[in-house]
Amino acid sequence: MERKQKITITAAVAAIIVAVVCVAGFYTKAGPVHQLTEKGKVAVIRVNGPIVGGDDDPMRFSSSNVTTSGSLMREFRKARKDQEVKAVLLRIDSPGGSAAATQEAATELERLKKSGKPVIVSMGDTAASGAYWLSVYGDTVYANPSTITGSIGVYMSYYDLQGLSQKLGVSEEKIKSGAHKDIFSPFRPMTEEERQMTQTMVNDMYDQFVAVVAKGRHMDEAKVRTLADGRVFTGAQAQQLGLVDKMGNYYDALADAGKRIGANPDNVPTVEYDHSVSWKQLLEGNSSLSQFIRSQFSTDTAVPLPLLLMKGVLQR
């Protein structure tokens, strides 16, 4: 019995020591404490890879090399409703993507701006086409001198496989409800009427794009159209043309956002949303248990795990 008591006491003392060390480590690191107690924060929202429609599901084993309109809308809404968030840093490294998906996300971004929270944009390697569409909502847009940006325009494509199918002896038969139901069929030529219909759709989307750029960049639409022929620009060229505001990297943009909320530009409190670790990543060993737990609480990785678990239990 005496031996069992000693083991119990030893285990209890060890647990207390671990807890004390964790708490001490937490309070001696100004960054995490600052992030948990500071009332004014900058929400960092990232657009990485092509912009596509749909939604992110942590249980669906999808690639992280794309940004979905669903995830962007969710993050913009969280930032708008988060009372501790006073400004947003939109970090973009994307070649663009679906016009409809971009518009869908842009609607929530506009609502976020109308709530009174400034949006600072930081361009990485690329912020072109649909990604530039999102950029123009920024109160201040930063780019690097060699950032690839612009590409203001729209296109629709389809494949013509008639020659190949003939060589392979493959033909298509279809029963359709209307003359244009198979307008983008790769097994027949597009008629002149269909080509005009498609061009009209492209022109409509293009006009919408131009209008968004003109409004966001405070430029005349006629001036925008001289730049909106699909060409890309370097960041330095874009600044000269009025498409971006300043040269600077991510930390320059973050410092700008920090100043707007009265924070120390060298130690800006930030928050990020929607960076879930999937069960598949955990089971395959591509993520640690602590990373998985932290992702479920959507918190900074610098917070010690024991305090994180305690915080999660108290919030439930």
DSSP codes, 248-277: --HHHHHHHHHHHTT--TTS--EE----PP
Determine the Cα–Cα distance for residues 31 and 36; give it in Å rounded to an integer: 9
How many Cβ atoms are within 10 Å of 152's Cβ, its own excluded? 26
Residue 146 in contact with residue 234, Cβ under 8 Å?
Answer: yes
Determine the Cα–Cα distance for residues 215 and 153; give it in Å rounded to an integer: 16
Secondary structure string (H, E, C) spanning 180-209: CCCCCCCCCCCCHHHHHHHHHHHHHHHHHH
| Residues that are catalytic | 129, 181
